[in-house]
Chain A
Amino acid sequence: MNNVYIVAATRTPVGKGKGQLATIRADTLLISVLRGALAQVPTLDPEVVEDVVIGCAMPEGEQGLNIARSAALLAGLPISAGAMTLNRFCASGLSAIQMAAERIQLGQADIMIAGGVESMSRVPMMGFHPAPSPLIFENPSQLPLAWGMGATAENLAQIWNISREAQDSLSLLSHQRAVAAQDRGDFTAEITPLEGRRIIGVENDGEYQEQVLTIAHDEGPRRNTDMAALGRLKPAFHVRGSVTAGNSSQISDGASALILVSEQALVRHQLTPLARVMGFSVKGVAPEIMGLGPVKVVPPLLERHGLEQSQLDWIELNEAFAAQVLAVQKHLAFDPECLNPVGGAIALGHPLGASGAIRTTTLIHGLRRTQGRYGLVTLCVGMGQGIAGLFERL
């Protein structure tokens, strides 16, 4: 199989739901990162791009009609390049990288763009018209297919006896790490800033003020949060539960794009590899414990590549819920120092279909910054799946 290299990786700053990116369409976010990724490799002529694979969890409305294709053409990619949108919920962005990588591994393509996009401000979670199959309700054992994600997190907290305090502590750590990373400027290299418009005071005479703002930072991290503030929040999913808005991932907007190439392309276009794509694993778990997905995929993936968990320098475990991360930790016990070193989705946000690509972008830049070698991205997926991807910095 051919080696696959990542030569560019970028993302938008992430916005909070109804926040800094809310007035920007998802396709515009995607156009920005597609251009941003190409800008990182000026020697690469866009004409040679084979295909664009974009993950999106709610591909409808402004994210519908194969958003990948329209955004690719609007971003300036050639008509000859293909584009598709794929959906594996929260894993969509990583599955897009997986699919692009596998095309190159098989020798079916040399230059691929992969990424993800989601504007949860503009296309709500569950979409505009949630309509689950009536068959789900005919068989009690299938009911968890209709469970909301919060219910699965409460379920894990109960089964694994995870306290409210432990969840809030993890949440606080996530915010503290993210704020520290922002202060160090850790995210500067990976973020492609973009411009937002703000309209103020539309008057009867047609006058209004318009502000054009450069958006360059993630909006999610809370500088001033503490255990007391987190402790005051009411349970969000169960009246007597422990999962709150404060110890769950945020509703967010964002996009990310990466350029993947074969070894031949590396040479032909004089590209510098950032990382090598090693491999992926995907498996299913019961929907009611969907948060445990990573537990199923990480050990076999490491085994396949002959790696010990202790060899991992950086692990991006998507923080869907603190309860879910802690339940995974009860099984996998990642080194806490290597786990989400710059914070996770609780602080940085979780724009569903984009997150897999965003976490990978952060991982690759993080490994380069810290001169680490092996890195892992893993996510749990609604209705019960886990996904993991393994990368090596070069």
Chain B
Amino acid sequence: MKPIARVAVMGAGVMGAQLAAHLINQGIPVRLFDLPSDKGARNERTQQAIAHLSAIKPPPLVDPGRAMLIQACNIDDDLAQLADCDLVIEAIGERIDWKEALFSRIVPHMAPDTWLVSNTSGLSLTAMAKTLPEERRPLFCGLHFFNPPRYMTLVELIRTPWTDETAIPRLWEFVNSRLGKNVVFACDTPNFIANRIGVAATVFAFYHAQRLGLSCALVDELTGTRLGHPRSATYRTADVVGLDILAHVIDTTYRQAMDDPFRHCFAPNPRLQQLIANGSLGAKTGRGFYRKEGKTILQWDAEKGEYIATGETPDAKVLACLTASPPERLIRLRQLDHPQAQFLWAIHRDLFHYCAHHLSTIANFAMDVDLALRWGFGWNLGPFEVWQMSGWQTVAQAIEADRQQGVTLSDQPLPAWALNPECRGVHKPDESWSAQKETWVIPRGVPRQRIPTFLIGMGKPESVGTTIQESGAARLWTLDDEVLIFSLRTKMNTLGETALEAMDQALEQASLRGLPLVLWSPAAHFSAGGDLAGFIQTYTQHGLNGLNQAQRRFQDIIQRLRSSPVPTVAALQGFALGGGCEVALHCDRRVAHTETNMGLVEVNVGLFPGAGGLTEMARRAGCRALDDGLPLQVGDYLKADLSRILRCEVSGSAQEAKRWGWLDVGDVIVPHAGELLHVALSQARALVEASYGAPLVYPVPVAGIEGRAQVLSALINAHQGGQLSDHDLFIGRTLAQVACGGDLPAGTLVPVEYLLALEREQFGPLLATPKSRERIMSFLETGKAVRN
């Protein structure tokens, strides 16, 4: 099967340009097409769209320099360039006549085995396919990306009756493994799955909020993180999306889903229309449901027709319901006679009702609905998961009771399968309920995703593989008895004493068995760093000596990652910060998801990387200087990394970390986080196959007092310019003292242990300073860094 190696994107609008950016992020050559410009250069329009990428937040490109690799084209002069593209993505305006006109122009230039896909978010793919010549239709489908495409992992794949099933795997694998996206197969129904359900949730929240007289801010308090939804919750999300866009998506359901028994809820909403008419379109116009005035955030009051203060807090009784155990939560809300409780029950009830009613038409099985909402809307749990968790039958009966009282938004009964007393939910291990087929089906897995996404009812990731050792802090296990896997399970995978001991034991086990060790966990983050509370506790209870011993232990274990006789591979994703970054830097190899944020950010909490991190930076600089024959100039090789440490810089992507040299040239970047474990395992095996032996660690030249002077010179100026506080300067001096090798002259060869000893000598006294401890305490209390 010929891989998809080159892609064309038609339409350089917001989505098209960002899709092109994401393709180039993943190393796929891309041609971006738009109309030619009347004046100036012919590709002016496309080029401007490419240039604008650098102004978009969050950044669509992993490296702004890649913009130049997107090839700008126009549809008048460059259609011949479609000939060697294996995939053409249509991302132009949402009008079927425009799309038809475009297709008629591009199709003659496409190779017969080239996929044509549409990124439409609302039009019928079947209707679109009909505009194509019949021989073209087998390689046509919908591929609905979410905005912003670099960060949103959901892609809905919508087949038409003509789509060639045998050709799907090639496209699926490309979207999954090369683009790093999660594919959900959606039916060709209005708004597909994620928007159909997600927008229904929004519309129902609007409806009940108005009915019960709840303000925007209060609704957002209730429907954000407390429900496992993004913090932006309901109204703030609408502002971010854009009220005009939201209204358009709602209208798509209203206009196209003619037989939807909830259709009346999607009729134009006067409050929303009023804001749009006022030009209040949300974040892009500076006002929508919210408006920021200076530092104050005001909310729209539709009754008064003005922005008013926020600040209401949810009722304590309501909050108590929300923190109750899952089976009690919804039922207690239903029973509580309080508008906020009634609101929360009603939005759940109606959404469940809606999902159950539509499951048979929008999705092949229930799992896809929940995954689409998780991946497309950032919900921790999909609607069916929440229902199942809350006790399926209890909730189903409650919905039915409400319906009979006429308070539900549709008088349609729940489908028979949902009311069947046998029904306990729609998910069970390895199977998902298909309302279409009225039976359980086995969803197809993705081969390289060794640990699939586990929904409520499907079991836990921990059930996969054979456990060798486990504790509350970590699990050591294996899938195949060939590679050991060490998975942290602390909060944000922080590295405290027990986690480190577990890591040491894992290294011990790996060494004893002669098996490579992969550091991977199912969590979203590799590790947020060392356990600060633990450090403080050690210091308070055992003083500087105790701290020193603990630090030495941390250093030893981290050094062991490199020196043990078996290869170690770190599988990075999300945060790899502080101690987590130090762990990653010391493994033999790293595989990193594109969205990896590496940083040695200890200065934020008044410390420096003291578990071998500064030593490692000094060692690398020394090696590079020595290789270049410049052992007296180590300072020049060190200063960029020290500056990153001082500024607590965090890489915006794995590609950026590679540019810094924090990921090695040979480290592997993986587009899909779900494939990280698979790649890490194969890299570990590859190291074994190559007759692994622990790397030799040479003495290295230090930057010395001359290098320290270079660092100090920069520090003094930053301090003089008000960019560094006095304590920052003090930390900076300490950091320079350690990283440059103390009071030795530049170029002096030292063993790594010498640098580690310097780390220990300076770390405790720094932690003991009141200002550093103030930083730590503040971070522990508020999660935010203070610059004292």
Contact = CB atoms under 8 A, between A and B. Distances in A.
B723 interface: yes
Contacts of A133: 709
A131 B712 contact: no
A102 B717 CA distance: 38
A131 B703 CA distance: 11
Nearest to A143: B716
Contacts of A241: 721-722
Nearest to A151: B720
Given A129-B633, A131-B635, A238 B720 contact: yes
Interface in A229-282: 237-241
B194 interface: no
Interface in A200-256: 237-241
Contacts of A150: 721
A132 interface: yes
A132 B709 contact: yes
A143 B716 CA distance: 8
Contacts of A130: 710, 713
Contact of A148 (B635, B708, B712, B717): B717
B705 interface: yes
Contacts of B636: 129
A308 to B, nearest CB: 39
Interface in B686-708: 705-706, 708
A129 B717 CA distance: 17
A139 B722 CA distance: 21
Contacts of A238: 720-722
Interface in A127-146: 129-134, 136-137, 143, 146
A92 B10 CA distance: 58
Nearest to B723: A239
Contacts of A137: 708-709, 712-713, 716
A241 to B, nearest CB: 7
Contacts of A148: 717, 720-721
Contact of A146 (B633, B705, B706, B717): B717
A28 B709 CA distance: 35
Given A129-B633, A130-B713, A143-B716, A239 B706 contact: no
Interface in A350-364: none
A147 interface: yes
Contacts of B710: 130-132
Given A151-B721, A239-B721, A241-B721, A131 B716 contact: no
A261 B709 CA distance: 45
Interface in B613-650: 633, 635-636
B728 to A, nearest CB: 13
Nearest to B704: A134
Interface string A93-130: 00000000000000000000000000000000000011
B732 to A, nearest CB: 12
Interface size class of B (residues with CB under 8 A): 10 to 19
A169 B80 CA distance: 57
A152 to B, nearest CB: 9
Interface string B713-730: 100110011110000000
Contacts of B713: 130, 132, 136-137, 146
A129 B636 CA distance: 7
Interface in B25-46: none
Contacts of B705: 134
Nearest to A240: B722
The main secondary structure of chain B at its interface with chain A is helix
A111 B717 CA distance: 44
A131 B721 contact: no
B709 A134 contact: yes
In the complex, which of the residues A129, A134, A136, A150 has the most CB atoms of chain B within 10 Å of its own CB atom?
A134
A367 to B, nearest CB: 39
Contacts of A154: 720-721
A136 B721 contact: no
Contacts of A240: 722
Nearest to B724: A239
Contacts of A147: 716-717, 720
Nearest to B707: A131
Contacts of B717: 146-148, 151
In the complex, which of the residues B706, B708, B716, B720 has the most CB atoms of chain A within 10 Å of its own CB atom?
B720
B712 A146 contact: yes
B407 to A, nearest CB: 57
B720 to A, nearest CB: 5
Nearest to B716: A146
B708 A134 contact: yes
B424 to A, nearest CB: 61
A159 B399 CA distance: 75
In the complex, which of the residues B636, B705, B709, B723 has the most CB atoms of chain A within 10 Å of its own CB atom?
B709
A240 B712 CA distance: 22
Contacts of A146: 712-713, 716-717
Nearest to B721: A238
Interface in A142-167: 143, 146-148, 150-151, 154
A237 B712 contact: no
A104 B593 CA distance: 71
Nearest to B708: A134
A130 B635 CA distance: 10
Contacts of B721: 148, 150-151, 154, 237-239, 241
A223 B635 CA distance: 43
Contacts of A239: 721-723
Contacts of B712: 137, 146
A237 B709 CA distance: 20
Nearest to A243: B721
Contacts of B633: 129
Contacts of A136: 709, 713
Nearest to A155: B720
A237 to B, nearest CB: 5
A136 B709 CA distance: 8
A238 B706 CA distance: 26
Contacts of B720: 147-148, 151, 154, 238
Nearest to A148: B717
Contacts of B722: 238-241
Nearest to A128: B636
Nearest to A236: B721
Nearest to B743: A134
Contacts of A237: 721
B46 to A, nearest CB: 16
A137 B708 CA distance: 9
B722 to A, nearest CB: 4
Contacts of B716: 137, 143, 146-147
Nearest to A133: B709
A241 B717 CA distance: 13
B447 to A, nearest CB: 38
A288 to B, nearest CB: 9
B643 to A, nearest CB: 14
B603 to A, nearest CB: 17
A147 B716 CA distance: 7
A64 B145 CA distance: 55
A189 to B, nearest CB: 38
A239 B717 CA distance: 12
In the complex, which of the residues B709, B721, B722 has the most CB atoms of chain A within 10 Å of its own CB atom?
B721
Interface string A64-75: 000000000000
A229 to B, nearest CB: 20
Contacts of A134: 705-706, 708-709
Given A137-B712, A148-B717, A148-B721, 10 more contacts: A131-B635, A131-B709, A134-B708, A137-B716, A146-B713, A147-B716, A147-B717, A238-B721, A239-B723, A241-B722
Interface of A: 129-134, 136-137, 143, 146-148, 150-151, 154, 237-241
- Nearest first, the 10 closest Cβ-Cβ pairs linking A and B are A239-B722, A134-B709, A134-B705, A146-B713, A151-B720, A238-B721, A137-B712, A148-B717, A238-B722, A132-B713
8 contacts: A131-B706, A134-B706, A143-B716, A151-B720, A151-B721, A238-B722, A241-B721, A241-B722
